[in-house]
Amino acid sequence: MTHTVDAAARRIAYLDHAATTPMVPEAVEAMTALLSTTGNANSLHGSGREARRVVEESRERIAASIGARPGEVVFTSGGTESDNLAVKGLFWDRRAQDPERMRVLSTGVEHHAVLDPLTWLEDEGGAEVELLPVDAQGALVVDALADSIARAPATVGLVTVMWANNEVGTLQPVEDVVSLAHRYDIPVHTDAVQAVGAVPVDFAAGDLDALTLTAHKLGGPYGVGALVVRRDLSATPLLHGGGQERGIRAGTIDVPAIAGFAAAVELAVKRRTEHAERMAALRDDLVSRVLVEVPDARLNGNPVDRLPGNAHLSFPGCEGDSLLMLLDHRGIECSTGSACSAGVPQPSHVLLAMGRDEAVARSSLRFTLGHTSTAADVDALVEAIAPVVERARAAAR
Amino acid sequence: MTRSMTRPMKVVAAMSGGVDSAVAAARAAEAGHDVTGIHLALSRNPQSHRTGARGCCTIEDANDARRAADVIGIPFYVWDLSERFHDDVVEDFRTEYLAGRTPNPCLRCNEKIKFAAVLDRARALGYDAVATGHYARLETAPDGTVEMHRAEDAAKDQSYVLGVLTQQQLAHSMFPLGDSPKSLVRREAAARGLLVAEKPDSHDICFVADGDTAGWLHDKLGTAPGTFVDHESGDVLGTHDGAFTYTVGQRRGLRLGRPAADGRPRYVLDIEPVSGTVTVGPREALTVDRLEGISARWCGTPPTSTLDCTVQLRAHGEEHRAVITVDGDRVDVDLLDPAQGIAPGQSAVVYDGTRVVGSCTITATSRVPAA
């Protein structure tokens, strides 16, 4: 006998859209329609051609939505793979062409899908990784990047800076990064997983060299994403096999997932302005009302240049773990924003990089809104937060 | 009547990833309590998996606990208590050995972590009790006092390692397995669909992953050469790398080249940590019938003056009839049944029949000379 309460039957305020957001019906429809069809997109017969047509149409729709050319879109299994492919693949390729280019420049607030490959490249690949400082709001200090490049421009193989921070929501000065790097012909990769569908993202207009996006953060399915990478830039593959995806990413193509991905990207970009306005209004409401309930709470990240659906708050004297658990009990789902290291929640590397101490880093919660969020979700949080914070404070004493 | 069934409570079930704590959590939930599963992360650098019956607290154990919580249908979280565990249990273990004593880290963990740090946090977060998979029984006496008794399954009884719990802690504890034999618990786990039903019991000290306590101590304490000395002649019989790796009553691993004059095995009788002198002698010299203890902890009202009782001196050890004399924090134990190989640092847990009266930490042992 189990005591499971069906999650759907409970009233849930889901405030963790940055972790994953529900699929939009259009993506579900596109995907389910294809799940019962057969055809390997690399086969030469009619079924194969039909599958390939779906993939290429999806590629074109995604490319059009983000200002890229279809040939620049390389399908992957998602954000982590795209980041790994960009960081390792571009570093390896650049180093193969010019062994001097051993430096990789990035920031200390990147997602672990970028930071961990960088660490690995440092340990295993001889790369010299420099994590440049960020300001108290989590934005890259552009002068530090300029200085670092100028010190020895010919030794930099790659610059990778995320578009928007997944924890605190701060937008990065990607435009400045590109103009600095391109002065010395250094390619720039950006992890735009949180940005696409939330802020304007245009690959060509931004003059980017490589960009990561993933389906499940914008209404598509899990397990599919893309690395958008300039045609004239080659990346050494991580996976070798059947030569799919420009020979950069081998593996049989997941046709239904890609169709769902395309439907989701297209809608997310089409609805972006209206969606972002609605999210920002809800988010501002959330922040201001939580600050009324808990006056000493503090908003982290840039208050203006941030993701519209992101509210990241520190609650002094609380453990984020306790807050999360107490809110979860009330059906309010959020995140401490930090990664688990070996099963143990760690203080957020992002907040530490922003100069917060460990206690503050451990006292933080991330609330993220998405396309299914409503005012009632915010109401539920506002109603719960004061007693929950009081409880968590007592537990931390 | 066991008190766990009296009224529905909000309960934190400490889930190690083993079969006992999983069934304990399931029983608490089935009894109608609002149960939340908590896995305690006690190591900052857990191993990915455990080998055999050694250790716990690996990532695999955390996953096993999570899966058990899924099957039971209760929420599950991981609480990071690695810092407290390190300070209160691991460091205590290290410094106790350094001082020539033989601590029991499981008792310390129950005293400082499971029924202190965890219970305090749970209470502050709105929970009424902590449930664990320990084999011990709780009963409510007519006056409302919560009594702790030995488990039904004598072979599994764990009341010894719980002998440090106070009335306040017992009043907020729940041991749903106290009435059951282990074999039944395993069968029940299988019937409930818990995949940990066949998982081996954990033994040894959880933070000494490979079971090599001497190696662990050398690693943490380095080497401190000293001598083995014969207890009667005072002759130096050999040298060692650190007195802290020996324990009173130990026979194996002394590597004394010269056999005793009478050819009988020699045992560690005493450890003097400052000079690093390990005194050895024959088995009968290990026999003691008087103990002195400090840090007395009582499960209920402290005994006044003397008490006829039994004491248990090590986990899974036998009971000794005894008379204890209590003086505040201090306890003198006169053993009617002498004991062997008792080391300072060990805990003496006091029983009145099956009921746990309390405990103290042994500081000295002696033998009353034959009249």
Give the pLDDT confidence of B180-222 residue by residue, as tens digits. Answer: 999 999 999 999 999 888 888 877 788 887 788 888 998 998 8
Neighbour-count burial for A89-122, b at 16+ CB within 10 Å, e otherwise: bbbbbbbeeeeebbbbbbbbbbbebbbbbbeebe
Calculate the alpha carbon distances from B366 to A118, A135, A291, B17, B362 in Å: 63, 66, 65, 42, 11
Taking a contact as any Cβ pair under 8 Å apart, which residues of chain B between 49 and 78 contact chain A?
59, 62, 71-75, 77-78
Q: Which of residues 101-130 of B touch A (CB under 8 A)?
A: 120-121, 124-126
Domain range annotation of chain B:
7-198, 223-281, 287-366
| Interface probe, candidates A344, A346, A362, A388, chain B, greatest B C-beta count within 10 A | A344
Q: Smallest Cβ distance to B78: which of A2, A326, A344?
A: A344
- If you average pLDDT over residues A35-61, what whole number do you get? 97
Q: φ, ψ for residue A359 (rounded to 5)?
A: -65, -45
CA A326, B31, B130: angle at the middle one, nearest 5? 45
Mean pLDDT of A371-391: 97
pLDDT tens-place string over residues B127-172: 999 999 999 999 999 999 999 999 999 999 999 999 999 999 999 9
Where along chain A do the CATH 3.90.1150.10 domains lie? 13-23+272-396
Active site residue A340: yes
Residue A127 pLDDT class (50, 70, 90 cuts) = very high
Right CATH number for B7-198 from 3.40.50.1980, 1.10.760.10, 3.40.50.620, 3.30.1490.20?
Answer: 3.40.50.620
How sure is the predictor about B256, in pLDDT bands with cuts at 50, 70 and 90?
confident
Are residues B75 and A1, on separate chains, in Cβ contact within 8 Å? no
Location of each CATH 3.40.640.10 domain in chain A? 25-270
pLDDT tens, A69-101? Answer: 999 999 999 999 999 999 999 999 999 999 999
What dotted CATH number matches A13-23+272-396? Answer: 3.90.1150.10
Contact list in B for residue A326 (CB cut-off 8 A) is 125-126
Q: How far is A319 from chain B (nearest CA, A)?
A: 11
pLDDT grade for A171, boundaries at 50, 70 and 90: very high
pLDDT, residue B100, reads 86
Distance from chain centroid for Cα B363:
17
- Whether pLDDT at A2 is above 70: no
What fold does the segment set B287-366 form as a domain?
Elongation Factor Tu (Ef-tu); domain 3 (2.40.30)
- Pick the residue from chain A with its C-alpha nearest to B61: A343
Please count the other Cβ atoms lying within 10 Å of the Cβ belonging to residue A331: 15
Q: Which chain A residue has its CA at the smallest distance from B31's CA?
A: A3
With an 8 Å Cβ cutoff, is A1 touching chain B?
A: yes
The pLDDT score that the predictor gives to residue A347 is 87
Looking at 3.40.640.10, 3.30.390.50, 2.60.120.680, 3.30.420.40, the CATH number of the domain A25-270 comes to 3.40.640.10
On the question of pLDDT at B49 being above 70, the answer is no
Least CA distance to B37: which residue of chain A?
A325
Q: What is the pLDDT of residues B315-353, one digit of tens each?
A: 989 999 999 999 999 999 999 999 998 999 999 999 999
CATH of domain B223-281: 2.30.30.280
Least Cα separation, residue B118 to chain A (angstroms): 10
Gap from A372 CA to chain B (nearest CA, Å): 24
Rounded to the nearest angstrom, the minimum Cα separation between A324 and chain B is 10
Q: Catalogue the active-site residues of B.
A: 109, 206
Q: What is the pLDDT of residue B58?
A: 78
Give me chain B's average pLDDT, please: 90
Average pLDDT score over chain A: 94
At A304, is the secondary structure helix, strand, or coil?
A: coil
ipTM: 0.87
Beta bridge partners of residue B2, listed in sequence order: B139
- Indicate whether A37 pLDDT > 50: yes
pLDDT class for A340, splitting at 50, 70, 90?
Answer: low
Residue A341's pLDDT is what? 59
- Radius of gyration in angstroms for the set of CA atoms belonging to chain B, rounded to a whole number: 22
Confidence of residue B259 (pLDDT cuts 50, 70, 90): confident
**Contact between A252 and A42 (Cβ < 8 Å):** yes
